[in-house]
Amino acid sequence: MNILVTGGCGFIGSNFIRYILKKYNNINIINLDKLTYAGNKENLIDIEDDKRYSFVLGNICDPEAVDRCMKDVDMVFHFAAESHVDNSIKGANPFVVTNVIGTQVLLDSARKNDIKRFVYISTDEIYGSREYGYFTENDRLEPNSPYSASKAAGEMLCRSYYATHKLPIIITRSSNNFGPYQHPEKFIPLFITNLLENKKVPLYGDGLNVRDWIYVEDNCKAIDFVSRYGKIGEIYNIGGGNEKKNIDITRYLLEKTGLDQNYIQYVEDRLGHDRRYALSTVKIRELGWENNRNFDSALNMTIQWYKENEEWWKKIKSNMKQEENKEDNSNDKDRMNDKKIMIFGCGQLGNLYSEYFKNKGDIVINPKIDIRNENDVRSVIEREAPNYIINTAAKTNIDWCEKNRTECFEVNTLGAEIIGRLCAEKGIYLIHLSSGCIQESKTKEEIHGEEDPVNPLCFYSWTKVWADQLLLDLKNRKNLRVLILRPRQLLSSVVSPRNAVTKLLTYTKFIDTPNSCTIVEDLLDVTNMLIEKNAVGVYNVVNPGITSPYEIALMLKEIVKPEMVINKISKEELNSMTFAKRIDSVLSAKKLENDGIILKEIHIRLREILEQFKENLSKDASKEVMEKTKEETRNKLLV
């Protein structure tokens, strides 16, 4: 039998893998893990040479990676999750992406690969808090943290795939686990390791919160048990029957480590902190499962394990401290209003970026200088001392660039290199706006990722390629922190002569070849999200799906200008009328999606944008813009 375990380098997942390999000789395990801070390959170092075990580094949000792992698999055990409640309170996005979208990707792949059983590992936290009695599997879900809400959402997806697609789902809801290899950010290992280091332990509120505890190996046994004997489509609570107040566990740990009550540091209670969790395990016990392990003996085993494995947890706590220091430094900068963004380029994109970040309360400098002049660029950077630079400066009229190659090269390539070199020298994070028109798609099925070879058709595109290559070279040689964004065919609700929507409104001839497009308003949001993630490297930034100038024109006629004249022409006819060859590019946004950034499909988003464009067009200032755009279009060959 072949099984897929997601998140197998985490706490429960690694214990489950070890348990299964020890119990069965005829099972092969694939472990798919992204190795976030909570995933640790050292958790399975003792079995990594077992021929029945294989590790795959990958993200459950990546359909291709999941499909590769799911092939020839009989059963799936889905442990992978963002699970630290405090982190979910600080920011819920990673929890929604991993715990909901990741689950959906796995379910889709399980359908395609005819999986015989899909076991979803959930939590008792989805029930919420209960003062008396015990939660049964039929009780209402009332999650009180973003973490538990995301797990509940994952459950609902599983239930829907069972009801709709007859996917063989089983769901387990376990109480609080403890035992070997648990990350020292969690309650019991944090307190054990702090006390072993002679440090105080941070106890939330009055310490009277109650949890039901189960030793991790017993939970693994129960999961294996219900995967074999449980009923498809059912949910099973897994509890240890060990209700304990947090203060009582703390006192027990103090006693076992020879320390006194002075080592308790009471801290402000967690937001939305559930008072009591308690599970009814009647349903799983009726199947024949029993948990007979004594809590004190299991806790003593856990204390001993952490005593014997100091090297393992000290390395993790050292990394935690480094991350805390980074966060503290980041917070200090925020408090001092140190987020200062310098934006090069005063065209449509430069102005929109300036307005966007000013509206977010950031300090924005938009110097009007020639980026070809290194002395001027250096001077303004040293004077203003930004910690972010966004470079939108470029010559973008491709026919003009074809005729004025020297100036185009100087601005688009050499100017970008000057900015990149100075950013590397000063340790400044650079966001560079590149272009998506550097990879040709001869059919709509020819979809390009960031790593695919480039094949520009005009000089403008080559200058953007050369700039990308120079900046990536600085990244490799000089440790430049650079984020290169490749949007394609920018469309916006802003009435501007530089907006492709405004231009299209003045045209009468349109090609109908497939292309990716980028909604500018989405580009701004994506840029901010990637900055927050400290992302580096190259990202295609396009809305999913494809469209064409002809399709956009039809939508313009429907929404904005009913009297619009629309004539379809061929790509060959277009290229015979223009100085520079036009390229068709269909780009993949999968890298963005793998980072949890998922944009609306282009046709849906375009309709929203055109409705807003229509509203903006009714304003008095827009009339002047339209006249200017018509004047620019007049006397030209119309596309």
Name the helix (H) or strand (E) containing 608: helix 602-617
Burial category of 233 from C-beta neighbours within 10 Å (exposed 0-12, middle 13-18, buried 19 and up): middle
Marked catalytic residue, from 120, 127, 147, 277: 147
The catalytically annotated residue of 82, 124, 212, 593 is 124
d(CA 200, CA 268): 15
Cα separation, 490 vs 184, in Å, equals 47
Task: Tell me how far apart the alpha carbons of residues 637 and 412 are, in angstroms, rounded to a whole number.
Answer: 26
User: Does 124 participate in catalysis according to the annotation?
Assistant: yes
Residues in CB range of 391: below 8 A, 6 or more apart: 344, 345, 371, 416, 419, 430, 431, 432, 433
Q: Residue 379: which residues within 8 A CB-CB, separation 6 or more? A: none
DSSP state of 77: E
Q: Which of these, 463, 465, 568, lies nearest to 510 by C-alpha position?
A: 568
Closest by CA to 30, choosing from 83, 93, 75, is: 75
> Which helix (DSSP H) or strand (DSSP E) does residue 55 occupy?
strand 53-57
Rounded Cα distance between 370 and 66, Å, is 48
Asked whether the beta carbons of 407 and 415 are under 8 A apart, the reply is: no
Tokens of 138: 């039929």
Residue 483 has, within 13 A of its CA and on its CB side, a CA count of 25
**Separation of alpha carbons 519 and 252, rounded Å:** 58
DSSP string, 521-572: HHHHHHHHHHHHTT--EEEEE-EEEEE-HHHHHHHHHHHT-TT---EEE-HH
Residues with Cβ within 8 Å of 335's Cβ and at least 6 positions away in sequence, in order, are: none
Residue given tokens 């590397």 in the structure block? 424
Task: Answer yes or no: are the C-beta atoms of 283 and 245 closer than 8 Å.
Answer: no
The CA-atom distances, in angstroms, between 177 and each of 14, 188, 209, 419 are 13, 9, 16, 51
Catalytic residue among 33, 62, 82, 125: 125
> Packing angle between helix 102-112 and helix 146-165, nearest 10 degrees?
20
Q: What residues does 388 pair with on adjacent strands?
A: 341, 429
CB 435 within 8 A of CB 483: no
Q: Are 102 and 60 in contact (CB under 8 A)?
A: yes
Distance CA 475, CA 424 (A): 8
**Letter for the amino acid at 76?**
V
Token pair in block for residue 557: 């006629």
Q: What is the C-alpha to C-alpha distance for residues 488 and 604, in angstroms, rounded to an integer?
A: 17
Q: How far apart are CA 375 and CA 373, in angstroms?
A: 6
Are residues 493 and 624 in contact, defined by beta-carbon separation less than 8 angstroms? no
Residues serving a catalytic function are 124-125, 147
